[in-house]
Structure 1
Amino acid sequence: MALDRPQLELLEALASAGTLTAAARRLYVSQPALTLRLRNLEDQLGIRLFDRQGRQMAPTRAGQRLIETATVVLRELDAAERDVRTLAAGMVGSLRFASQCSTNYSWLPALLRQFHEEHPGVEVRIEPTAADRPIPALLADRIDVALVAKPDSQMHAVDLEPLFVDELVAVVARNHPWAGRDSLGADDFTDAHVVLYEVYDTRRSAAALLPLPAGAWPARLTTVPVITELLLEMVRGGQAVTVLPSWVATNYQASHGVTTVPMRPAPEPRVWYCATRKGPGSGALDDFVGLLRERFRTQRPGKAQVIAVPEAAPSPAG
């Protein structure tokens, strides 16, 4: 059995579109032509790949198995074509980077400029990772290096270098009654409206622990998508407060009219690691990791500590 790229694209299009009409539109062919392609493929394989349920196309077990393979193969083909174009343009390679927290990227442009001065022929690609899980992506060779803080059951299978520890602080409007306080305790949150990232939504089956002093429970909790600007716009009005790492909040104090207040006792600290696959890396990868290490050694809110890596635990937001 030998499947070509058009057949793989047919399977992926039918799986994602759900109907022959929508899949034909996506592939820029007529519906009769696509129907004939599917019939020929099923005849070639000697098995039905989709059941027709009205207009909907539901994959059979055989179809689902081929769809899974088609998704992987097409992704790898696209990546290989990008790499070849990169080489044709005079580049000598690429380095794939991912981070578990979108707010991290404010520091990245300066680091990339320095890296490209040393490695002008290496392209750095910022890669998204499925379900925000870079550790499995590392092990599957879909990325080369990641900045991680959220525990994963496979963390023992990669090399982890601790970089720094977050100091979580309350963030309030400058005219909020808490502004200027030396610190906040659990009781202070009894009457508070707290707005946090959606991973802290207590209705979720795997909700993260609230980043508040032990025993604190706010009078009202609102969760929003992981968009820091949205979080701070809600705080700016003075009716709600939030919690962020101090190094993130500092970037927004001037632009969003907010200030920070320490919490006592402090919430559980969060350690950030540089994660790479085990074994020797390339010179470019080693230099990129070195730049990460230097950046967070000189510009971080707290000292990095060697802390035991848990096997698994709830994941806090970035």
Structure 2
Amino acid sequence: MNLYQFHIFKTVADKKSFSGAAQALFISQPAVSMHIKSLEDHFGTRLFDRNTQQVTITEAGRILYEYVEKILSLLDEAEKDISALTGCIRGTLSVGASFTLGEYVIPQVLGCFKKQHPQVRALLKVTNTEQIVKLVLKQALDLGLVESRVDNFELIVKPFMKDELVVLLPVDHPLAGKKFILIDELVALPFILREQGSGTRKITEDRLKEAGINLSELNVVMELGSTEAVKEAVEAGFGATIISKWAVQKELKLGTLVSVKVKEVSLVRKFYVIYNKNKFQTPVVKEFISFLSSFCFQENSVEKLA
């Protein structure tokens, strides 16, 4: 019996699911079952009743849950007080990031954070905005970093960085020599979109709608599930796309792709940090949120968290 098993036990009780606990803790379901069985063997009684539809905590489990809550809360307080005394931040930080952020921005941020706090274990999950929101709502992640604003009463949502999107073209395209193109020229282009649930797609749809253009009016020739695939398709001449400048810095520098702006459309957006208001924030999570704001502000491309 150990504190890690108590943490697993509490997560199973909170999620009412072995599989849900496994996802939240980034371990396998058999590992969750093994640890729960070890606790049940220690106490000599069942802590959960299992069936095919749900997991229900037993009376013995409810008694243990009350003590486990107190034990883990006291441990969190001890870590907080010791961190304040020693100035040492330690623990696990699980971050979800949408593709543009996860592939081009956050690895640098996490790397700098780790240099300052080497005893922090950082876990980064990269997927689209829709999936990040779901994982934060399930409390499977400490926080998420996404490309479009999220409206959900269970979440705290704050901007932390500005971004600019541009129209990306092959270098030999007739419009490639222009600094700005008109909205009519954009609509006439064969267009490559990211998949449903992508933050870049949502902001593209929102901004075009503000300019009076629906996605259905675009000549969409492809929908692709990653930024890299989109860039390669544009470079191969299949069409144009709207993409974050963060994602094409290398290609623009090398001259393998060209970016232009749309005269009638504002494509400036904000990146957001999201976290579940019902999830306890450990000292390492609080420190990372503070670091994120400070780091991005120093990069001169962002604004501080409001």
Do they superpose with TM above 0.5?
yes
Q: Is structure 2 residue 144 aligned with structure 1 residue 196?
A: no
TM, length-normalised to structure 2: 0.59
Equivalent residue number for residue 284 of structure 1: 284
Q: Is structure 2 residue 175 aligned with structure 1 residue 182?
A: no
The CA deviation at 1:161 is 2.2
Offset from partner CA, 1:41-87 (integer Å, 9 cap, x none): xxxxxxxxxxxxxxxxxxxxxxxxxxx8342255467649xxxxxxx
Q: Is structure 2 residue 255 aligned with structure 1 residue 252?
A: no
The CA deviation at 1:162 is 1.0
Q: Secondary structure at the match of 2:140?
A: coil
- The higher radius of gyration belongs to 1
CA distance in 1, matches of 2:246, 2:205: 21
Structure 1 pair 199–176 and aligned structure 2 pair: CA distance change class (3 A): same
Equivalent residue number for residue 20 of structure 2: 72
Do the aligned partners of 1:164 and 1:296 also contact (CA within 8 Å) in 2? yes
Q: 1:214 aligns with which of 207, 211, 217?
A: 211
Residue type at the aligned position of 1:284:
V
- Identity in percent: 18
The CA deviation at 1:293 is 1.7
Aligned residue pair count: 223
Q: Secondary structure at the match of 1:125?
A: strand
Do the aligned partners of 1:189 and 1:218 also contact (CA within 8 Å) in 2? no
Which segment is superposed worse, 93-102 or 70-79?
A: 70-79
Do the aligned partners of 1:98 and 1:147 also contact (CA within 8 Å) in 2? yes
Q: Secondary structure at the match of 1:271?
A: strand
Q: Is structure 2 residue 93 aligned with structure 1 residue 111?
A: no
Q: Secondary structure at the match of 1:252?
A: helix
Offset from partner CA, 1:179-225 (integer Å, 9 cap, x none): 23131121113431111112299xxxxx9557588245766212332
Do the aligned partners of 2:161 and 2:296 also contact (CA within 8 Å) in 1? yes
CA distance in 1, matches of 2:115, 2:130: 30
Q: 1:159 aligns with which of 145, 153, 156?
A: 156
Offset from partner CA, 1:238-262 (integer Å, 9 cap, x none): 4521111223232432457012111
Q: Secondary structure at the match of 2:262?
A: coil
TM, length-normalised to structure 1: 0.58
CA distance in 2, matches of 1:178, 1:186: 13
Structure 2 unpaired stretches of 5+:
1-15, 29-88, 199-203
The structure with the greater share of residues assigned to helix is 2
Residue type at the aligned position of 1:277:
N
Do the aligned partners of 1:162 and 1:273 also contact (CA within 8 Å) in 2? yes
RMSD, aligned CA:
3.6
Residue type at the aligned position of 2:138:
A
CA distance in 1, matches of 2:22, 2:143: 23
Structure 1 unpaired stretches of 5+:
1-67, 81-90, 202-206, 307-318
CA distance in 2, matches of 1:200, 1:158: 18
Equivalent residue number for residue 95 of structure 1: 93
Do the aligned partners of 1:183 and 1:261 also contact (CA within 8 Å) in 2? yes
